[in-house]
Amino acid sequence: MGRNLVYPKHAANTVNREKQRATYDLGVIHSIINSSPVLHVSFSPGPSEPFPATLPMIGQMGSFDYPSAGIDEPLDCYVHGYVSSRIVNLARASKGEGLPVCVAASKIDGLVLSLTPFSHSYNYRSAILHGYATLVTDEQERLWAMELITNSVVPDRWKNTRVPPTPAEMSSTSILKIKVVDGSGKIRDGGPSDERVDKSNEELSNRVWTGVVPVWETLGQPIAAPENKVAEVPEHISSHVSRMNEHNQAYAVDAAVRSKK
Amino acid sequence: MGRNLVYPKHAANTVNREKQRATYDLGVIHSIINSSPVLHVSFSPGPSEPFPATLPMIGQMGSFDYPSAGIDEPLDCYVHGYVSSRIVNLARASKGEGLPVCVAASKIDGLVLSLTPFSHSYNYRSAILHGYATLVTDEQERLWAMELITNSVVPDRWKNTRVPPTPAEMSSTSILKIKVVDGSGKIRDGGPSDERVDKSNEELSNRVWTGVVPVWETLGQPIAAPENKVAEVPEHISSHVSRMNEHNQAYAVDAAVRSKK
C-alpha cells in the first residue's frame, strides 16, 4: 500500500516526448525487461571506435543478496555471455564501477492505423536501464544467476535438465551483473489519435479504415528433437506455452481497446 | 547469378563467437532490418555522459537515388523521429559525416530446449548496422522516406490514408538517413545441440524432453476504432494480416526442423 519506487530522473533517462506515456516505476520497467526474450545491450567499445556496439543478450532482473525482493524493488540486471566475448573482456578490464551500458527492451502490442500517415503509431512497451556491468566472480551468485536466466526461457526448466553444471560449463560462461543507475519506460496503448480537422472531414472518414491490429508473440506446438526419448511434452513446457499464448493475446487485445494515453 | 554483395569486415562488425552462424550478406542483413517492427538505435549522447543512449525507432532500408535497388544492393537506413528529439538535435549539430550510430534488430524464432541448461538457446535472426546519421533536408527525399516507412507498417497504407502531408506535419517530423559503413547478421536455427557425454547418458535422455518451441509474431483480427466509419476491413490490411501470419508461423516451424548451423 506504500508508494511505488521510481527511478531518479537524470538527463540520460528523462523522457521528453509524449511524457504522458513515460514511466519511472521500478515494477513496470523491470517487468518489461523480464518479459523480453532479448535485451539489446549497448556499450562503447573504446576510444578508437566511433560507433557504439549493441549485442542481443538474454537477461533477467534479480537480487542475489535479497532473493525474495519483489519486481518493484531495487534489482540488478544479470546477463550471460561467452567468457572471451568483447563485452565480457571490457567488463573484466573496466576500472572503478564497471563498464557503462544501456539495456533496452521493446515489445510491439499493435499496429495503430489512423486517418493520416503521421498519426500512425504502434502500441508498445519499451524500457531502458543505464548501469555499470561487472563480472560476477562469486560461484554461488553465478549459479544462482544461471538458474534465474534459464528459468526465464521456460519456468522450472533448470530443475528439469541435467544440473548442476560441470566445471567446464561453469568456466566457459560468464555472468555480467549490471548495477542500475537509472531507467525509464514508455507505454502506448489505445486506439488511433487523429487531429480534429481530419476527423471532421467526411470524405476522409468514409474512405479510410481506422483501428488497431493487435500483435503478440505466439508459442507454437513444441517440436521434439530427433534424439528426444520422452514421449509426452512435460507439463512445465506445455503449461508455459498455453499460459503465454493466453496472456500475450489478452494483453494485445486489451491494449487496443484501452483508453489511450 | 552474380556473387552476393557482402559488408566489409571491420573490427567493429566481425562476429567472433559461433562464426558459422554469421553473415555479412547485404540481402540477409537488410531483410532482417526491414522485417523488424522496431529498430534499436544507439548513439553516444556526448562526452559528459558515460552511458550510450538507445531509442526504439521505426525504420527501413532504401535508396532514394536508385529507388529500384534490390534488397541485396547498397542501401541507406531511414528512420523517423520527432523534430526536437535528442538524436535529431545531435545529428543536426554533428560535424563531418554525421552522428555515429549502431542500429540493431533481433527476432526470436524458437526456444531451443536441450538436455543441459548450458546448451539451451534460441533460434533467432539478428542484425546490426554501423553508420553515420544525418538529417534529410531535401523535401522530395523526406516525402519518399515517409512513404517508405509508413508502408513498412502495412503495405500500401500511404495511399490508403489522407496524403499528401500538411506543411505542419512535414515540419514536425524529421527523417534521419543512416549511411551504412558496415554490418553483420547472425542466424541460429535447427534443433538442440547437446554434448556427446550427455546424449549417451540414458537416465538423462529418458528424463529430459528436448526439442524446439517455435515462436512467431501473430497479427490479430483488426479492431475498428470507435470513430471508424468503414464497414469492412480493407483488403490491404486483411491480406497483410493473413500473409504475415502464414509467413511468420512457417518460418518459425521450418527453422525448428532445419538442419542446425
Q: What is the pLDDT of residues A153-183, one digit of tens each?
A: 999 999 999 999 999 999 888 999 999 999 9
- Within 8 A of B38 by CB-CB distance, chain A residues are 106, 108, 122, 124, 126
A100 Cβ under 8 Å from any chain B Cβ: yes
Residue A183: its chain B contacts at CB < 8 A? Answer: none
Q: How far is CA A50 from the centre of its chain?
A: 27
Q: Is A191 exposed, middle or buried (0-12, 13-18, 19+ CB in 10 A)?
A: buried
* CB of B77 less than 8 A from some CB of A: no
Q: Which residue of B has its CA nearest to A147?
A: B117
Per-residue confidence (pLDDT) for residue B260, from 0 to 100: 64
Collect all residues with Cβ–Cβ distance below 8 Å to A188 and sequence separation of at least 6.
Answer: A18, A21, A112, A121, A122, A123, A124, A260, A261
Partner-chain contact B237 A113, CB within 8 Å: yes
* Contacts A116 to B, Cβ<8 Å: 161-163, 165, 169
Hey, what's the cell of B7?
559488408
Q: Which of A101, A111, A205 minimises the CB distance to B229?
A: A205
Strand-strand pairing, A99-113 and A39-43: antiparallel
Q: Determine the pLDDT at residue A83.
A: 76
The answer on pLDDT for A121 being more than 70 is yes
Q: Please tell me if residue A63 touches chain B, with a CB cutoff of 8 Å.
A: no
- The answer to whether residue A1 scores a pLDDT higher than 60 is no
Tens digits of per-residue pLDDT, A2-30?
A: 678 999 999 889 988 888 899 999 999 99
Give the C-alpha separation, B145 to B134, whole Å. 14
Neighbours of A92 (CB within 10 A): 17
Asked if pLDDT for residue B83 goes beyond 90, the answer is: no
Q: Mean pLDDT, to the nearest integer, of A207-226?
A: 98
* Alpha carbons A85 and A46: distance in angstroms, whole number: 15
Q: Per the CB < 8 Å rule, is B210 touching A219?
A: no
A191–B117 CB contact, under 8 Å: no
Q: What are phi and psi of B99, to 5 degrees?
A: -85, 125
Give the residue from chain B lying closest to A170, CA to CA. B118
Q: Strands A121-135 and B173-188, how do they pair? A: unpaired
Q: Residue A65, Cβ neighbours under 10 Å: how many?
A: 7
Q: Taking CB atoms and an 8 Å cutoff, what residues of chain B touch A224?
A: 209-211
Distance CA A243, CA B7 (A): 42
Tell me, what's the pLDDT at B2?
63
CA A103 vs CA A33, A193, A196, B209: distances in Å: 9, 30, 38, 32
Is the minimum CB–CB distance between B71 and chain A shorter than 8 Å? no
Q: How many residues in total does chain B contain? A: 261
Q: How far is CA A169 from CA A209, B139, B242, B257, in A?
A: 55, 56, 43, 26
pLDDT digits (tens, 9 = 90+) for A30-68: 999 999 999 999 999 988 899 999 999 999 999 999 999
- Chain B residues lying within 8 Å of A43, measured CB to CB: 52
Cα–Cα separations (whole angstroms), residue B260 to B26, B117, B204, B207, B257: 22, 18, 22, 23, 8
pLDDT confidence of residue A16: 85
Q: What angle do CA A72, A74, A76 make, to 5 degrees?
A: 115
Look at residue A260 and tell me whether its pLDDT is greater than 70.
Answer: no
Per the CB < 8 A criterion, the answer to whether B64 and A55 are in contact is: no
Q: What is the DSSP letter of A236?
A: H
Cα distance between residue A147 and residue A159, in whole Å: 9
**Residue B65 burial by Cβ neighbours in a 10 Å radius (0-12, 13-18, 19+):** exposed
What letter does residue B5 receive in the DSSP assignment?
Answer: P
Does residue A47 belong to the interface with chain B, where contact is any CB pair within 8 Å? no
pLDDT in tens, B151-198: 999 999 999 999 999 999 998 889 999 999 999 999 999 999 999 999
Q: How far is A216 from chain B (nearest CA, A)?
A: 5
pLDDT at B81 over 90: no
User: What pLDDT digit, counting tens, does each position of B221-257 carry?
Assistant: 999 999 999 999 999 999 999 999 999 999 999 999 9
pLDDT exceeds cutoff 70 at A220: yes
DSSP at A165: P
> Residue B47 pLDDT > 90, yes or no?
no
Report the pLDDT averaged over residues B51-69.
Answer: 96
| Best A113, A147, A163 residue to mutate vs chain B (most B CBs within 10 Å) | A113
Distance (Å, rounded) from C-alpha A143 to C-alpha A141?
Answer: 5
ipTM score for this prediction: 0.96
A239-259 per-residue burial string, b: 16 or more CB within 10 A, e: under 16:
ebbeebbeebbebbbebbbee
Interface residue B59 vs chain A (CB under 8 A): no
CA-to-CA distance for B36 and B15, rounded, in angstroms? 21
Residue A233 DSSP SS3: coil
What is the nearest CA distance from A103 to chain B, expressed in angstroms? 8
Question: What residues contact residue A220 under an 8 Å CB cut-off, 6+ apart?
Answer: A241, B213, B214, B215, B216, B249, B252, B253
Contact assignment for A117 to B161 by CB distance below 8 Å: yes
Burial of A50 (0-12, 13-18, 19+ CB in 10 A): middle
Rounded Cα gap, residues A160 and A244, in angstroms = 19
Nearest CB among A53, A217, A225 relative to B102 is that of A53
Kindly list the domain boundaries of chain A, sorted by start residue: 19-257
Nearest residue, CB atoms, B54 vs list A117, A128, A253: A128
B38 lies within 8 A of chain A by CB: yes
**Distance from first CA to last CA of chain A, Å, rounded?**
24
Give CATH for domain B19-257. Answer: 2.30.110.10
